Amino acid sequence: MATILIVEARFYDHLNDLLLAGARAAIEAAGHSHETITVPGALEVPGAIALAAESFDAFVALGVVIRGETYHFEIVAGESARGIMALTMDGLAIGNGILTTENEAQALTRARPDEKDKGGEAAKAAIAMLDLQTRFG
């Protein structure tokens, strides 16, 4: 049984609740345990994972970034993904469930466990990467 850390950028509470529900259900269905921590935003997710790297077997990154009127969306979406990818290239098992959408309706569809279930998919990706890490590590 692995211990998985869910790191959530909690900005949109109602959307994060849906992502968390999907991630937790997938982790528990696979027989693993989990803890959850909250960071201020998507840019802080990779840093939190890096700080916890020695304490957990795998990680699930959750959050929602919705396009606004400024270039900030591109910075947050791109740099959070880049940071997570860098950590995976360093050998951490991470599932990226940070949604980057044009509007809240798209985010709701992706976050709901009974629709696209991106929280659950991110948890399953983390578990799949952990399995590969165990196989090749």
pLDDT in tens, 42-54: 999 999 999 999 9
CATH number of domain containing 60: 3.40.50.960
By residue range, what is the domain housing residue 10?
Answer: 3-136
Spatial contact of 74 and 20, defined as CB atoms under 8 Å apart? no
Tell me how many degrees the CA angle 55-61-63 measures, rounded to the nearest 5.
140
Question: What is the Cα–Cα distance from 8 to 48, expressed in whole angstroms?
Answer: 10
Residue 32 a catalytic site member: no
pLDDT at 7: 98
Residue 11: CB atoms within 10 A of its CB come to 15
Alpha helices in the chain (DSSP H): 13-29, 45-51, 72-89, 104-111, 118-136
Any binding-site annotation on 94?
no
pTM of the model: 0.97
Number of domains composing the chain: 1
Any binding-site annotation on 66?
yes
Residue ranges, the chain, pLDDT below 70: none
pLDDT at 71: 83
pLDDT at 68: 86
